[in-house]
Structure formats: structure tokens, C-alpha cells
């Protein structure tokens, strides 16, 4: 017994001696460099948020509404010209196996108010399920019988996914007579006056190539995960899009709920499928041609947030990987462009791409989930309080501006964003290195009214209290790492940092086992 205990003590002393030998010459310098780099990235994020806060405050205080910055007049009837005085509008609705929402989307598109002979509804159906294709066709025929000019278009392959469908849709002969194209994803439901509020900006301002509306989330209260998404996206629409539109007449097209001038779309080179963010790709190329973009924050289009963890992860992979890959492909093209100003180039390269699409993802995970926890085991490396506490607190409070009703959920939002940052960082690196899964495109699952109908009889939505399709090993590993750091800090630390480490580890474990989002019954 004593021999065994002695051997164990000896092994422990050996490990401690080895750790000391490695820590001084290797771990400490590397960790100090990592802290320095992360603090630099944190400062970049802080300056970006403060700058946008100042601009958005100016916009709101001085009432820089779109109607004041651009010419806007309603399109008036002309006795001689008749309806030909109105521009021809194409409305594209791309869809793929959208059983739950196809009726809502087609109905909303066909319900748009515009002279019936000056609008074409184009349903671009890439569905692979024959039953769903038949249902969509029947719905199109039903609206056609009501006098709506609706076209049902299919293709024999899914090359290019959504970008390929939109590109193919623009090739039809009847599109040549159209001046503008409005695009709505399958879960989007524009109000009838959508075209009346957007088209006049394009008609009266020939330098505007795109008018983008804001998203309104119909299922934000479905579960805690959708509330977290609402907080992040509301900041994007309330601040980021508004600042880009007001200051530089540029922002990333959101891929839906927007109207393009077809001549601008064509001049930019049309739709390309080289990344999974074909919308952002088109926006950057059109901006480099000198076209201006306008964002209408008062015009909201209803849509659905992904409420299952599986759907949300696929969406976030695409939204993180795509921009990083596009940045890799276009950075030199942007820098060498002759048509846009130096300030606009700096904004697009540094602010729009580098800080928001790369630094924000990587720093959130590396600093708060890897480097900062590691410092508890290496006391020689000290992180200043302004970097560990003040900067993230300010950034978090600035983000809360977009969704004041969820201010009390800020702690949950921090934990959720830190946990998701692992997935986003991985996707960002895949995009930058153009590694495997760089062009992975999986359509975000929509539930429409199906889930509500199944849950209505029970009165309560069920959380996903079951292991998902698989255990997410990376989240599990990071969770154990944070737990280990927390235990070390509990035993040897003096600043109670273990409280945060334990809570964040628990958040990673919840995500690892899929205990997030809603549970969708099979029947």
C-alpha cells in the first residue's frame, strides 16, 4: 500500500517537474503572444462597435431617413400610357422541398399589390421530392386560375444551388421585359405594399442598384435559441445594415427581401456559385461597379428563424464559411478597383469583411474559450481587466441596443455566442483555407405552421431534451477543457474565475449533447 502511494506521489512529482520545464521556456511566451494578439483583436472589435454606435446615433438623432437622402415619389397613373407607366417587376421565389411553407410563400408573392399586367411571379422549384413538386405545381395553377401571371420553373439539376436557380431563372425570354427583380426565400412573407415602398426609390434614383428590407421574425419567442438569434440578427439589421447604407451606400445583400435593378445585376456579372454566399458576392461586385444600395429599416418582411439545433448549425456554417471564402477570393479585386473611393475600400475590406466576418468569430472563441481559461494555469501571464472584463461588457451592452426587450437575457446570449463561436471559427478557417466543406450547401429547414399545429394541443413547446442525431465531439472536448481550468482555478486561483468557467463549460456540454432548440415530433 505504502509502495503504491509512493509510486503515485513520485509520478505526480515527475509530471509537476515536466510541466515546470515546459511552462517557462515554451508555454508562457506562447500564451503571452496569444493574449497580445487577442487583446489587439478585441480592441478592433470595440472600435468597430463604438464607431457604428456613433454613426447610428447620428442617423437616428438627425432623422437621416431614406426619403430625405434620396428622391422618392409615388408612381402616378398616366391616362395615355396606362399601366405601361409602371415598370415591369419580376418576383423570384426559389424553393427546395419546402413542404411546410410553400403555400405561405407563394401566397405572399401572389398577394403583392402591383398592376397585374406589370408583374411576373416566378417560382423556381429545385425540389427533389415528387410529391412536393406536385403540390407546388397545383398551388401555382390555383393562383394562375385567379388571373395571376405566375410561372413555375424547374431545371434538370441543382448545380449552383440557390445561385444556380436564380441564374437559370433570369435566362427565360419573358424576363427581358422586366426592369427590376424582387427576391423572397420560401419562408418570407412580404406585405402587399412591399413593391409600392421599394420600387419608387429605384425609379427615381438611377444610381441605386439594390433596395433591401429588414427581416421580422415570426417565431422569435419559440424557444431560448430563437431569442438568442433574434438578439444577434436585430443588431445586424438595426445597426450594421443601417450604418453601411447611410455612410457608404453599401452593405451585404441578405439574399432575400430585396429588389435589384436588373441592369445592375447584369453589369455585376449576374449570379455566381463560387461561394455559399452568392448574395454577398453579388453585392460586393455590384458595389465595385459603382452602384449604391439602400436599406429600409421601416420596411419589415416576416420570416422564420431556424428553431432546431441541426438547422441552425448548418445555417451558421454557411454564413461563416461563405464570407471568409469570398474575402479570400475578392480582397485583391477590391483593393485594386478604380471605381470606388479609398474610404469605401477600407470599409469593405477592413470593417465589413475582416473585423465582422473573421476577427469577430475567431477572437470570440480563441480568447474567451481557450486563451483566457488557460491563464488560470499559467499565473505568470496576466490579462488586464480592461481586456478580460470591460471590453466584452461594452461590446455586449452595445449589442443589446438592437433588442431591448431581451436585455435580461444577456448572460444567456454571451454563453450561447461563445459556444457557437467554436462552430463559426471552424467554418471561418475552412473558408479561408478553402478546405473540405467549403462549398457545402444544406437548405435551412423551415417548420412553418407544422410545428405549431402539432404543439397546439399540448399548449407548450417542448425543448429538445434528448440526444440529437450525434454528439458534437468538439464542443464536448472544449467543455471538458473549461471544466478542467475551472477546477484548477477553484483549487489555486484567487479571483473566482472558476464561476464563469463552470457555467461556460456547462453551456458547451448542453450544446454537445443537442439539448438546445425545439423538439419536433415525428408524427
Of 55, 523, 477, 115, nearest to 246 (Cα)? 55
Are β-strands 180-183 and 89-95 bridged in parallel, bridged antiparallel, or unpaired?
parallel
Alpha carbons 214 and 389: distance in angstroms, whole number: 33
Please give the distance of CA 257 from its chain centroid, rounded to a whole number: 14
Collect the ranges in the chain with pLDDT lower than 70: 1-13, 15-16, 19, 79-81, 448-469, 519-523
pLDDT at 9: 58
pLDDT at 74: 87
Phi-psi region of 437 (alpha: psi -120 to 50; beta: other; left: phi over 0): left
Contact 505, 298 (CB under 8 A): no
| E strand or H helix at 141 | helix 130-144
| E strand or H helix at 448 | none
DSSP 376-439: TT-TTS---HIIIIIHHHHHHHHHGGG-GGGGGGHHHHHHHHHHHHHHHHHHHHHHHHT-TTTT
**HEC profile of 197-238:** HHHHHHHHCCCEEEEEEEEEECCCCCCHHHHHHHHHHHHHHH
Residues with Cβ < 8 Å from 394, sequence gap 6 or more? 46, 49, 50
Q: Give the end-to-end CA distance of the chain in Å, rounded to a whole number.
A: 60
Alpha carbons 316 and 427: distance in angstroms, whole number: 8
Alpha carbons 280 and 286: distance in angstroms, whole number: 10
Contact 250, 280 (CB under 8 A): no
Beta bridge mates, 189:
302
Strand ranges in 262-350 using DSSP code E only, listed in sequence order: 292-303
pLDDT at 51: 95
Catalytic sites, residue numbers: 126, 279
Contact 189, 105 (CB under 8 A): yes
Please state the domain extents for the chain: 77-307
Sheet holding 258-261, edge to edge: 150-153, 119-125, 89-95, 180-183, 258-261, 208-217, 292-303
For residue range 470-497, what is the model confidence (pLDDT) as tens digits?
A: 789 999 999 999 999 999 999 988 888 9
Q: List the Cα angle 369/371/374 in 5-degree steps.
A: 95
Contact 183, 256 (CB under 8 A): yes
Residues with Cβ < 8 Å from 314, sequence gap 6 or more? 442, 444
**HEC profile of 42-86:** HHHHHHHHHHHHHHHHHHHHCCCCHHHHCCCCCCCCECCCEHHHC
For residue range 445-474, what is the model confidence (pLDDT) as tens digits?
A: 777 654 454 444 443 444 444 444 578 999
| Percentage of residues of the chain with pLDDT beyond 90 | 76
pTM: 0.90
SS3 of residue 308 by DSSP: strand
Torsion of CA 50, 52, 53, 57, to 10 degrees: 140
> For domain 77-307, which CATH number applies: 3.30.2020.10, 3.30.930.10, 3.40.190.10, 3.90.550.10?
3.90.550.10
Amino acid at each position: 500500500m505504502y509502495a503504491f502511494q509512493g509510486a503515485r506521489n513520485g509520478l505526480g512529482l515527475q509530471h509537476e517537474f515536466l510541466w515546470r520545464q515546459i511552462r517557462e521556456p515554451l508555454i508562457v511566451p506562447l500564451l503571452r503572444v496569444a493574449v497580445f494578439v487577442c487583446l489587439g483583436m478585441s480592441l478592433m472589435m470595440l472600435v468597430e462597435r463604438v464607431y457604428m454606435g456613433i454613426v447610428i446615433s447620428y442617423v437616428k438623432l438627425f432623422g437621416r431617413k431614406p426619403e430625405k437622402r434620396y428622391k422618392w415619389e409615388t408612381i402616378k397613373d398616366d391616362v395615355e400610357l396606362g399601366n405601361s407607366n409602371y415598370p415591369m417587376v419580376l418576383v423570384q421565389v426559389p424553393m427546395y422541398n419546402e413542404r411546410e411553407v410553400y403555400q405561405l410563400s407563394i401566397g405572399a408573392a401572389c398577394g403583392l399589390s402591383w398592376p397585374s399586367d406589370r408583374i411576373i411571379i416566378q417560382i423556381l422549384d429545385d425540389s427533389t421530392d415528387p410529391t412536393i413538386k406536385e403540390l407546388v405545381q397545383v398551388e401555382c395553377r390555383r393562383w394562375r386560375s385567379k388571373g395571376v401571371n405566375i410561372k413555375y420553373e424547374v431545371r434538370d439539376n441543382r448545380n449552383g444551388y440557390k445561385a444556380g436557380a436564380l441564374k437559370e431563372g433570369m435566362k427565360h425570354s419573358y424576363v427581358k421585359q422586366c426592369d427590376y427583380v424582387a427576391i423572397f426565400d420560401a419562408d418570407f412573407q412580404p406585405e402587399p405594399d412591399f413593391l409600392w415602398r421599394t420600387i419608387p426609390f429605384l425609379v427615381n434614383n438611377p444610381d441605386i442598384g439594390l433596395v433591401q428590407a429588414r427581416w421580422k421574425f415570426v417565431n422569435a419567442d419559440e424557444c431560448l435559441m430563437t431569442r438568442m438569434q433574434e438578439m444577434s440578427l436585430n443588431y445586424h439589421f438595426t445597426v450594421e445594415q443601417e450604418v453601411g447604407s447611410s455612410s457608404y451606400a453599401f452593405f451585404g445583400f441578405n439574399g432575400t427581401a430585396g429588389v435589384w435593378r436588373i441592369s445592375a445585376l447584369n453589369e455585376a456579372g449576374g449570379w455566381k456559385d463560387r461561394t455559399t454566399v452568392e448574395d454577398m458576392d453579388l453585392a460586393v461586385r455590384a458595389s465595385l461597379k459603382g452602384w449604391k444600395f439602400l436599406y429600409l429599416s421601416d420596411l419589415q418582411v416576416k420570416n422564420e428563424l431556424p428553431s432546431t439545433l441541426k438547422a441552425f448549425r448548418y445555417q451558421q456554417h454557411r454564413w461563416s464559411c461563405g464570407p471568409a471564402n469570398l474575402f479570400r477570393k475578392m480582397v485583391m479585386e477590391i483593393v485594386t478597383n478604380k471605381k470606388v473611393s479609398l474610404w469605401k475600400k477600407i470599409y469593405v475590406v477592413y470593417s465589413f469583411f475582416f473585423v465582422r466576418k473573421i476577427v469577430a468569430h475567431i477572437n470570440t472563441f480563441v480568447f474567451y474559450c481557450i486563451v483566457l481559461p488557460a491563464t488560470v494555469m499559467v499565473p505568470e501571464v496576466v490579462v488586464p481587466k480592461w481586456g478580460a472584463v470591460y471590453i466584452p461588457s461594452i461590446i455586449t451592452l452595445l449589442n443589446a441596443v438592437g433588442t431591448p426587450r431581451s436585455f435580461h437575457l444577456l448572460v444567456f446570449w454571451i454563453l450561447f455566442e461563445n459556444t457557437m463561436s467554436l462552430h463559426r471559427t471552424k467554418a471561418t478557417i475552412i473558408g479561408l483555407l478553402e478546405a473540405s466543406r467549403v462549398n457545402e450547401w444544406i437548405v435551412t429547414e423551415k417548420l412553418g405552421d407544422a410545428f405549431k399545429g402539432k404543439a397546439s394541443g399540448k399548449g407548450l413547446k417542448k425543448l429538445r431534451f434528448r440526444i440529437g442525431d450525434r454528439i458534437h465531439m468538439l464542443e464536448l472536448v472544449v467543455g471538458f477543457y473549461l471544466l478542467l481550468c475551472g477546477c484548477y482555478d477553484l483549487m489555486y486561483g484567487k479571483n473566482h474565475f472558476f464561476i464563469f468557467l463552470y457555467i461556460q463549460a456547462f453551456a458547451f456540454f448542453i450544446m454537445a449533447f443537442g439539448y438546445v432548440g425545439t423538439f419536433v415530433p415525428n408524427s
